[in-house]
Homo-oligomer: A and B are copies of this chain.
Amino acid sequence: MRAAVIHAPKDIRIEEVPDPDLVEATDAIVRVTHACICGSDLWAYQGVASRRPGQRIGHEFLGVVEAAGTGVRTLKVGQAVVAPFVWSDGTCEFCQAGLQTSCVHGGFWGQVGADGGQGEAVRVPFADGTLVPLPAGLSDHDLVKVLALSDVMSTGHHAALSARVAPGSTVAVVGDGAVGLCGVLAARRLGAERIIALGRHQVRTAIAREFGATDVVAERGADAVAAVQELTGGWGAHAVIEAVGTEESMRTAIRVARPGGYVGYVGVPHGGSGGVDINTMFDNNVGLCGGVAPARAYIPELLADVLAGRLDPSPVFDVGVDLAGVPGGYAAMSDRTALKVLVRP
């Protein structure tokens, strides 16, 4: 089969790789119909996160079950499924607690020895625990909406939950990438009254407004903090979503939080802890919660909303490619000429 392979920073190629086989009885093989490129893939593309040359890449996909091991009980060949961005056994105490990202048998697509999502097919360990079945006959447009649940929308939802967004909340969202935009959407879904999106790219802030942002702040750093305080009577936001992962974004997020508020952070931290202003947090009792999103726990609830027509994160996909277009898709996202690239292998 063909799949995306990362050889070095900025060197992603589409190559012929071995077809996946069932190895364990609990495996399934999924033929990928829809995949995409994540902002966190860019850390590898840009060389900030290291990869072994030849590793697969991509961790967001949905498709159809092509084969299932003898131990797979809930899925049949031909079943449409969406995968969260990690696999999980579905039975350990962390899976039972809804924290499948800490599954004792879990792993990430594209880790050494595993298939990535940007390819024609994927061997899925613990298929019963990992995959979420979809109704038959969904339109392509609905499948694109559902694809967003594999990571970006679930991650935005995790940020909003971690920030304790509640009906009536004032929310600030740091970051206008696809995760930040989905954070806006998640905050609106949870009943936020006011949503302040921090971002300066007009195409993106237009989507933020479409997703429910009531205010846009284009400033950065101290100016952004001042602008949010101005908009909130001097006190900041009850809930802050940090969707970038740099020192500056974390510092800004903590400083725009209201005393007693929470920062929900989901940007993979790449700045160390220098931006975690612990003195401001201490003085103001600002909590810092979040991390890698247990998408598997959220997909059923979010899927119900997508299928009911109440939730549509698909506007975050602004460019579509086939597998051959994946390397160009990385370049476009890295140059910020694309927001999020959809891949139809």
Contacts and interface: CB of A to CB of B under 8 A. Distances in A.
Contacts of A99: 259-260, 285
Most central of A262, A274, A282 by chain B CB within 10 Å: A282
B273 A282 contact: no
A39 to B, nearest CB: 15
Of A94, A265, A278, A290, most buried by chain B (CB within 10 Å of CB) is A278
A169 interface: no
A214 interface: no
A72 interface: no
A102 interface: yes
Complex copy number for this chain: 2
A178 interface: no
A292 B281 CA distance: 9
A125 to B, nearest CB: 19
A92 to B, nearest CB: 11
Contacts of A282: 265, 268-269, 290-292
A163 to B, nearest CB: 11
A287 B286 CA distance: 11
Given A97-B260, A268-B282, A273-B275, 6 more contacts: A250-B278, A269-B279, A273-B278, A276-B276, A285-B294, A287-B290
24 contacts: A94-B260, A97-B260, A99-B260, A102-B259, A162-B287, A250-B278, A262-B289, A265-B282, A269-B279, A269-B282, A272-B278, A273-B273, A273-B276, A273-B278, A276-B276, A284-B291, A285-B290, A286-B291, A287-B287, A287-B288, A287-B289, A287-B290, A288-B288, A289-B289
